[in-house]
């Protein structure tokens, strides 16, 4: 046996002992590292699969909207054209978008991902919630399904599909950053229960769908904060769906006006038991028009509206529904929780301020 072969034999014989006795932690660490890498890859694959599934399901129902014939742009400068996004929600061609995308347009054309292009008509629009319903020819068009925004959780996946800067059918993903926000539309009215997201939105995304991980629409993308990153907003789909129903029925949304901004808030359980309240939540007054009917009646910021006109108010949507069903000029009783005691007022909703905007 040569020295070299002996050395190799000794080395081979010693290596298992050296490995097992000297590096047990290293072996464990390597195994743990491989497991962590596999877990990270699995999580990433799951997230990617979710985004891909949503894009495949809702993308074909998302449209590009081109408008022509407006005399002025929203900034007041002359502009004959513009564009935005929308999504089909029925197979016969009804679609939702933002009011500011189509307001004042003489011609509206809708382009589908399939390459088909159609002229659209406005079924109705509601500038106060920045929503509009359009119609194109069906009969069997790809369409998106509505989800429920009242059950949204902060941190859940939010996926936006639209046409930012004319780049057609762009998908961005993020999370629900907050719920229950208020947003002032260009009509000057506060829209309540707005969804905040960090899914990137840009000009051209307006009117497109914000979608949850189950491929159901949770909001209608509407606005971003200028000079900010990751602060974007969508009209909650519960509000949008209700507005769409009203627009389909009448072409407009007729509502009384209280002069309040509000958001849905839970009632303190202990206080509810003391006062005998059975409803879990109410409409919390966050803003108050000092010249409006509510302020004149004695309502204050911080009050919780429990009932209006004999109807229970458990959410902002309830408040909107009641005001839309009750004509302006009719006296109603409003019950509020102020601090730890109940108050009741007689209030007469007025007509909403006239919508005036150059488009």
206 noted as active-site residue:
yes
- Pick the closest to residue 55 from 199, 229, 197, 259 (CA basis): 199
92 noted as active-site residue:
no
Decide if 287 contacts 182 (C-beta within 8 A). Answer: yes
What are 220's two structure tokens?
Answer: 């209608």
Could you say which of 66, 83, 100, 238 is catalytic? 100
100 noted as active-site residue:
yes
What are 191's two structure tokens?
Answer: 């829209």
Decide if 263 contacts 286 (C-beta within 8 A). Answer: yes
Could you say which of 66, 126, 130, 238 is catalytic? 130
Decide if 129 contacts 321 (C-beta within 8 A). Answer: no
Q: Is 288 left (phi over 0), alpha (psi -120 to 50) or beta?
A: beta
First to last CA, the chain: 96
Could you say which of 83, 99, 206, 213 is catalytic? 206
Beta strands in the chain (DSSP E): 62-68, 81-88, 94-97, 107-111, 117-119, 121-126, 131-135, 145-146, 157-162, 170-184, 190-197, 209-211, 216-224, 232-236, 260-266, 281-288, 304-308, 311-312, 332-338, 341-347
Active-site residues: which are they? 100, 130, 206
């Amino acid at each position: 046996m040569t020295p070299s072969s002996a050395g190799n034999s000794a080395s081979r014989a010693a290596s298992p002992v050296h490995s097992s006795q000297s590096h047990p932690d290293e072996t464990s660490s390597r195994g743990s590292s491989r497991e962590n890498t596999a877990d990270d890859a699995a999580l990433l694959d799951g997230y990617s699969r979710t985004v891909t599934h949503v894009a495949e399901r809702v993308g074909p129902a998302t449209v590009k909207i081109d408008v022509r014939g407006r005399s002025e742009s929203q900034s007041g400068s002359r502009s004959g054209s513009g564009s935005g996004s929308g999504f089909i929600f029925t197979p016969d061609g009804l679609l939702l978008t933002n009011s500011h995308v189509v307001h004042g347009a003489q011609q509206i054309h809708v382009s589908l991902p399939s390459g088909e292009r159609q002229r659209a008509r406005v079924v109705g629009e509601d500038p106060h919630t920045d929503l509009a319903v359009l119609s194109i020819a069906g009969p069997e068009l790809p369409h998106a399904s509505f989800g429920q925004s009242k059950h949204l959780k902060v941190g859940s996946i939010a996926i936006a599909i639209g046409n930012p800067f004319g780049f057609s059918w762009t998908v961005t993903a993020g999370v629900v950053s907050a719920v229950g926000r208020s947003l002032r539309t260009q009509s000057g009215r506060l829209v309540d229960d707005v969804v905040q997201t960090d899914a990137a939105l840009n000009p051209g995304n307006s009117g497109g769908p914000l979608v949850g991980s189950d491929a159901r629409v949770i909001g209608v993308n509407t606005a971003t904060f200028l000079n900010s990153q990751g602060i974007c907003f969508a009209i909650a789909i519960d509000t949008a769906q209700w507005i769409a129903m009203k627009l389909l029925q009448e072409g407009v949304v007729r509502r009384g006006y209280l002069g309040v901004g509000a958001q849905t808030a839970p009632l303190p359980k202990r206080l509810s038991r003391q006062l005998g309240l059975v409803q879990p939540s109410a409409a919390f007054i966050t803003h108050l028009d000092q010249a409006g009917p509510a302020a004149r009646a004695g309502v204050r910021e911080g009050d919780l509206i429990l009932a209006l006109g004999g109807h229970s108010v458990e959410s902002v949507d309830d408040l909107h529904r009641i005001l839309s069903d009750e004509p302006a000029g009719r006296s109603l009783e409003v019950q509020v929780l102020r601090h730890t005691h109940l108050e009741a007022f007689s209030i007469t909703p007025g007509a909403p301020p006239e919508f005036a905007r150059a488009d």
